[in-house]
Amino acid sequence: MNYIPVTELEKEEMLKEIGINSIDELFRDIPEELRFKGELKLPKGLSEYETRKALIKMAAKNTDMNQLANYMGAGAYNHYVPTLVDHLLSRSEFYTAYTPYQPEISQGTLQSIYEFQTIVCELFGMDVSNASVYDGATAVAEAMVMACDKKKTEIILSKGLHKEYSETVETYANGMGFTVKYAELEDGITPVEAFEAQATDATAAYVVMYPNFFGCIEDIQKIADAAHARKALLIVSVSDLSAMGILEAPGNLGADIVCGDGMPFAGPLSFSGPSIGLIATTDKLIRKLPGRIVGITEDLEGKRAFVLTMQAREQHIRREKASSNICSNQALYALANNITLSTLGKYGLKEMAENTLTNAHYCRDKLLEIDGIEMLYDQPFYSEFALKLPIPARVLQKHLLKHEILGPVDMGIFDEELSNIGLFFVSEIRSKDDMDRLALAVEVIINEQRFI
Amino acid sequence: MSKDLFNQTEALIFDKSRPGHKAYFLPEMNIEKLDKNKVIPSHLIRKTEADLPEVSEIDVVRHFTHLSNKNFGVDTGFYPLGSCTMKYNPKLNENTARLPGFSWLHPYQPVETIQGALQLMYLTQLSLAEITGMDKVTLQPAAGAHGELAGIKIIKAYHDSKGDTKRTKIIVPDSAHGTNPATATMAGFQVIEIKSSSEGDIDLDALKAVVGDDTAGFMLTNPSTLGLFERNIKAIAEIIHGAGGLLYYDGANTNAIMGITRPGDMGFDVCHVNLHKTFATPHGGGGPGSGPVGVKEFLAKFLPIPTVEYVAYKDKYILNYDKPESIGRMKSFYGNFSVIVRAYTYIRALGADGLKMSSEYAVLNANYLKKLVGKHLAVEAPERFCMHEFICTPKNIHETGVHTLDIAKRMIDYGYHPPTIYFPLIVEEAMMIEPTETEGIETLKEFADVVAAIVNECRTDAEIVKTAPHTTYLRRLDEVKAAREPNLRYRRTVKA
C-alpha cells in the first residue's frame, strides 16, 4: 500500500506541466552508476489489514506488563497515568505539528511547553526549565556541558548514579575534553569525603542521584555545601520523578542544576522510549541552559502570546560555537507530563508519593521476613530497595515469571559482583494482595532452589 | 463552534486551579499509611507541595482540547516545511505503537519475554541498512542531531583506533544544517566550512584545498539543502577517502532517494536517517523523533551499546553489550522504541515498491510545484530538476519591499503552514518548500494560486502582506520583548 493521493491521470498532467514524459527523467542528475538497480530487498508491501495483523502477531511474542505484577524500576518507573492523557495526546493538532517556528499557529504547543516548564520548576524547586531534552541520561550529559568550561574540565559522578547515565555522560565527555571521575559509595550513599577525595581546582560539578540507583536517599544538602565550598556546582539527577511529591525539592537543598526523566508521567514505558529528559537550573545559569525555551510575549495588539525565545544560544545561530547540538525537544511528552501532573495536581502527586512510600516499605518488610534475604544497605529509601538474595537475582526473576510477577531488576547485569542483588521497585498501583503474593512466591522459589 | 473559542486567550492551567478540585483517583490503600517522618530524615522531607493546579477532569480535558485548537498540524492542512518532510502520519502506525505487547514493556524484562520487540528492532535495522546501502544500523539515537553525534563519534573512534590522532578537522559545507557544525564541535573536532557554488554544489577545488592528513571526515546532505542532487558526489568521495577521511551522510533528505540511489553506494561510510521525516512518524510538536545511524561493516564495532542482534543457531534475538571498541552509550536504554514501531509498520506496509514510489512522487510533487510557483516567485536553479524540495525567493518582486517573512505570514491567512524560511543561509530570503508525496494535485494547485494571489497583493497592496497574519487570533509577536524580559514560567501571585 502507499499514501499517495495522485491518480495516473493526474500524474500525466503533472509530467506534462513539467515538460517530461516520465518520473524517471527527474532523476537525471544522479549519475547512472549510482542509480540503484533492481528492487530493495524488503518484504513485499501489505494492505493495512495485513500489516496490522503482522504487527499484532509480533507484539504477541512479548509478555506485556499488564499480564504481570511489575517490580522493575531502575530508571523506568511505572506509575499511574490517567486515561485522559493518551486521548489528549492523540489529538492530531498536537502530534502532527512540528517545532513551533510559526508561533501564530502553534500556541497550543507553546503554551503547553510554558506550563510544562513551570511544572518542572515547581517539582524541582528551581527558577527556570527548558522545554526538555531526550531523556534522563542525556539531561545529565547536557548538565555537565553547562557546568564545564575551559578551566573547569572535570566532573565527579557518584557511583550511585544510574550506570547507563554514567556511560552516557562518559560518551559526551569524551570528545569535549572533559574528565569523568567517580565518588565511591559507602553503605549505599555517597559520603562527602568520596567527592572531596577526587576534587581538584578543575572540578566543575558533583553529580548525585536522588534517590540513587540502589534506592537510597542521598543527603544532597551536605553534598551541595561541599560542592559550593569547592566552587563547584551540584547537579542532581532525580530518579523516580514521583518522589518529588514527598522529598524536599533539590533546589531547596542547594542544587544548581536538576535533571530528571519524565517517563513515569508520559504513559506506558514502551520498552523505555521515547522518554523525556527534564533539566532545570537557577536564574544565574539561565544563559547556559541548552535546547528550546518558551517565553511569554505580546502580539502587536498587546495580546498575551508564547514564543520560542533566547535562541541566540542555539546552533542555528551560533553554528560551530554552540555548546550543544540539540535542536528539538520531546514536545509531545512534555505535553503528556503537563497533562498528567495537572490531573494529579498538588495533592494527587503527594498522595501518589505517600502511597508509594507506604507500599515500598510494606513490601520490603514482607520480603525481609523470608529466611536468607537481607537489606543490601540500611538507608532511607522511597520506591526502590536492593535486597541480598540467597540465590542469583536472575534465577529468582525467571521463576517469578511463572507466578506472573515481573522483577526484580537483576543488578548483576550492571556489575557481575552484584548478581545476588535484586532491585525491587514498588509504586502506588501495587495492592497489598499483590505484595503478599510476591512474598509468598519469593519464599517458595528460594526454598525450592536451595534444594537443587 | 463559536468563533470566540478560537479567538480568545486560553488561561493557563494554573489560573484554572480552584482549591478542593481534583481529577484523580488512586487505588485505595488497605495498608496503614506510613509516617514519613519515621523513615526519611526531616530535612529531606518536602515542606511545601509543588504548586500544581487543582482542577477537575473536565477542566483538564477542555483546557488541552482548547490548546489543540490553537495548533496547526499536518492533519490541519498543507505543511510544506522544507527539510522537515511533513508527510501524512498514518493512523495505523499510531495503533500498532499502542499495542500492549509493544507499549507495556519494561526495558529490563528477561530477554525471553521481549523477543517480539527485539525482532521488530532487528528487522527495522535490516530494512534501514538495505534502504541506505549500509551494513549495520543502530536505533539508539533519539533524534537526527543525536544520530549525527553518534556518527561523528564513530568516525573519531575509527581514527583513534588506528592511532591516527592528528585528524582533528571535520569539513562541512556552508549549506549544511546548523546541527552539523555544532555536532562536529561537540565531538571535539574543529569545523572547516567550505563554500558551495550558487547551485549548492560542492566546489571541488575548494574541497581539495582544505583536505589533508588532518581531515577526519566530511559531512554532507545529498540531496543538498537546496533540494539538488550533488552531481560530483563520486569525485567528492574520492577526494575525502584519498586523504584518509570518512564521509558522513546527513539523512535529513532521504525521502527523495528511497530505492533510487543509496548513500552507501555513493561512498558514504556513516549515515543517519530521521524516522520522523522519511518514515512518516509524527513530529509531535518538536519531538520525540528518532535518528538511527547506519555504518559500513568496518565501522560496526564502534556502534553504541547495546546492539540488537539475532543469534541464528538459537533462533533468538539478544542485546549485545560486549563491544569493547564501542563509542559507548548515547542515552539510557535502547532508543525511541514506540517511534521505531511506527516506522517499522510504515516500512512493512509500503514494502520496497511503496517506498520507492513515495520518493518518486515526493520528487514529482516538488518539481510540479516548483514549476507552478516559479511562475510567480524566483526559484533557485530553475533549469535543473529539484529533488524532494526547492528554494524560491521574492527576488523578482524586490521593488515591493516585501520580505520572505511577510509572505510566510500571509500564507497563514490563506490557511497554510509556511515553508521553512531563511534557510539555507547561502540563499538570501530563502523559502524552502517541500510538499512531500502525500499531497494531491489539487492541494498543490491551490497553494500555487495562493502564492500568485500573495505576489499580486505585494504589487497592489503590500501593506496587507507586511502586516500579516490578519485572520489568526494572534497578530505578529514581539520576539525581542520575549528575549529581553524573559518570562519563562508562571509564578502565583499571593493575594495579600
Q: How many CB atoms lie within 10 A of CB A324?
A: 25
Return the residue of A nearest to B94 by Cα.
A90
* A208-235 pLDDT per residue, tens: 999 999 999 999 999 999 999 999 999 9
Question: Looking at this protein, which amino acid is placed at residue B485?
Answer: E
Asked whether residue B424 carries a pLDDT value surpassing 70, the answer given is yes
- Tell me the whole-structure pTM to 2 decimals: 0.97
The position carrying cell 498540524 is B73
At residue B178, φ and ψ (nearest 5 deg) are -60, -25
CB-count burial class (<10 Å; 0-12, 13-18, 19+) for A414 = middle
Closest Cα partner for B217 from B124, B130, B294, B152? B152
Contact assignment for A98 to B285 by CB distance below 8 Å: yes
Cα dist. B360→A3, B255, B369 in Å?
A: 13, 9, 14
Q: Which of residues 462-491 of B touch A (CB under 8 A)?
A: 469, 472-479, 481-483, 486-490
B188: region left, alpha or beta (phi > 0 left; psi from -120 to 50 alpha): left
C-alpha torsion angle, residues B479, B482, B485, B490 (rounded to 10): 170
The C-alpha cell that represents A90 in the structure block: 492523540
DSSP H/E element including A397: helix A393-402
The C-alpha cell that represents B399 in the structure block: 521593488
> With contacts defined as CB-CB under 8 Å, which chain A residues touch B472?
104-105
Contacts of A417 (CB under 8 A, 6+ apart): none
CB contact at 8 A, B214 and B233? no
> With contacts defined as CB-CB under 8 Å, which chain A residues touch B482?
295-297, 307, 309
The C-alpha cell that represents A223 in the structure block: 553534598
- The arithmetic mean of pLDDT across residues A336-341, rounded, is 98
Contact status of B56 with chain A (Cβ, < 8 Å): no
Q: How many CB atoms lie within 10 A of CB A201?
A: 10
Report the pLDDT value the prediction gives residue B321, as an integer from 0 to 100. 95
Question: Looking at this protein, which amino acid is placed at residue B215?
Answer: T
Contacts of B354 (CB under 8 A, 6+ apart): A1, A2, A45
* B202-259 pLDDT per residue, tens: 999 999 999 999 999 999 999 999 999 999 999 999 999 999 999 999 999 999 999 9
Contact status of A99 with chain B (Cβ, < 8 Å): yes
Cα end-to-end distance, chain B, whole Å: 39
Cis peptide bond upstream of B424, omega within 30: yes
The C-alpha cell that represents A422 in the structure block: 535484586
Compute the distance between CA of residue A95 and CA of residue A89 in angstroms, rounded to an integer: 7
- The arithmetic mean of pLDDT across residues A17-30, rounded, is 98
Closest Cα partner for B335 from B40, B125, B495, B74? B125
Compute the distance between CA of residue A347 and CA of residue A356 in angstroms, rounded to an integer: 14
Q: Give the angle subtended at the CA of A241 by the CAs of A161 and B305, to the nearest 5°.
A: 45
Q: For residue B165, how far is the Cα from the chain centroid?
A: 32
DSSP letter (8 states) at residue B256: G
Asked whether residue B3 carries a pLDDT value surpassing 60, the answer given is no
Asked whether residue B2 carries a pLDDT value surpassing 60, the answer given is no
Average pLDDT, chain A: 96
C-alpha distance from A1 to closest chain B C-alpha (Å): 5
The position carrying cell 544500523 is B137
- Within a 13 Å sphere around the CA of B146, how many CA atoms are in the beta-carbon half? 34
CB contact at 8 A, A319 and B491? no
Report the pLDDT value the prediction gives residue A184, as an integer from 0 to 100. 98
For chain A, give the percent of residues with pLDDT over 90.
Answer: 94
Q: Which of residues 306-345 of A touch B (CB under 8 A)?
A: 307, 309-312, 314-333, 335, 338-339, 341-345
- The arithmetic mean of pLDDT across residues A20-49, rounded, is 97
Q: Give the angle subtended at the CA of A113 by the CAs of B89 and B341, to the nearest 5°.
A: 30
Compute the distance between CA of residue B308 and CA of residue B333 in angstroms, rounded to an integer: 12
CB contact at 8 A, A99 and A357? no
Asked whether residue B172 carries a pLDDT value surpassing 60, the answer given is yes
Q: For residue B391, how far is the Cα from the chain centroid?
A: 19
Average pLDDT, chain B: 95
Question: Looking at this protein, which amino acid is placed at residue A386?
Answer: A
CB-count burial class (<10 Å; 0-12, 13-18, 19+) for B28 = exposed
Compute the distance between CA of residue B440 and CA of residue B435 in angstroms, rounded to an integer: 9
Question: Looking at this protein, which amino acid is placed at residue B423?
Answer: F
Question: Looking at this protein, which amino acid is placed at residue A56?
Answer: I
Q: How many CB atoms lie within 10 A of CB B18?
A: 10
At residue A241, φ and ψ (nearest 5 deg) are -55, -30
Mutate to test the interface with B, among A56, A64, A237 (most CBs of B within 10 A): A64
Mutate to test the interface with B, among A313, A343, A351, A427 (most CBs of B within 10 A): A343
Query: Parallel, antiparallel, or unpaired for β A203-210 and A374-375?
Result: unpaired
C-alpha distance from B443 to closest chain A C-alpha (Å): 10
Radius of gyration of chain B (CA): 26
Asked whether residue B106 carries a pLDDT value surpassing 60, the answer given is yes
Contacts of A416 (CB under 8 A, 6+ apart): none
* B360-369 pLDDT per residue, tens: 999 999 999 9
SS3 call for B34:
coil
Which sign, positive or negative, has the C-alpha torsion B407, B413, B416, B417?
positive
Question: Looking at this protein, which amino acid is placed at residue B43?
Answer: H
The C-alpha cell that represents B368 in the structure block: 510540479
Compute the distance between CA of residue B56 and CA of residue B61 in angstroms, rounded to an integer: 9
In Å, the largest CA–CA distance within chain B is 78
Report the pLDDT value the prediction gives residue B6, as an integer from 0 to 100. 63
Report the pLDDT value the prediction gives residue B496, as an integer from 0 to 100. 43
Contact status of B329 with chain A (Cβ, < 8 Å): yes
Report the pLDDT value the prediction gives residue B121, as an integer from 0 to 100. 98
C-alpha distance from B349 to closest chain A C-alpha (Å): 5
The position carrying cell 543561509 is B425
Confidence of residue B1 (pLDDT cuts 50, 70, 90): very low
* B107-147 pLDDT per residue, tens: 999 999 999 999 999 999 999 999 999 999 999 999 999 99
Contact assignment for A273 to B333 by CB distance below 8 Å: yes
Confidence of residue B34 (pLDDT cuts 50, 70, 90): very high
Closest Cα partner for A88 from A301, A332, A322? A332
Contact status of B232 with chain A (Cβ, < 8 Å): no
Return the bridge partners of B81, or none: B433
Compute the distance between CA of residue A108 and CA of residue A97 in angstroms, rounded to an integer: 10
Compute the distance between CA of residue A93 and CA of residue A97 in angstroms, rounded to an integer: 6
The C-alpha cell that represents B294 in the structure block: 547506519
* A311-332 pLDDT per residue, tens: 766 666 566 666 788 878 899 9
Report the pLDDT value the prediction gives residue B4, as an integer from 0 to 100. 58
The C-alpha cell that represents A208 in the structure block: 548525585
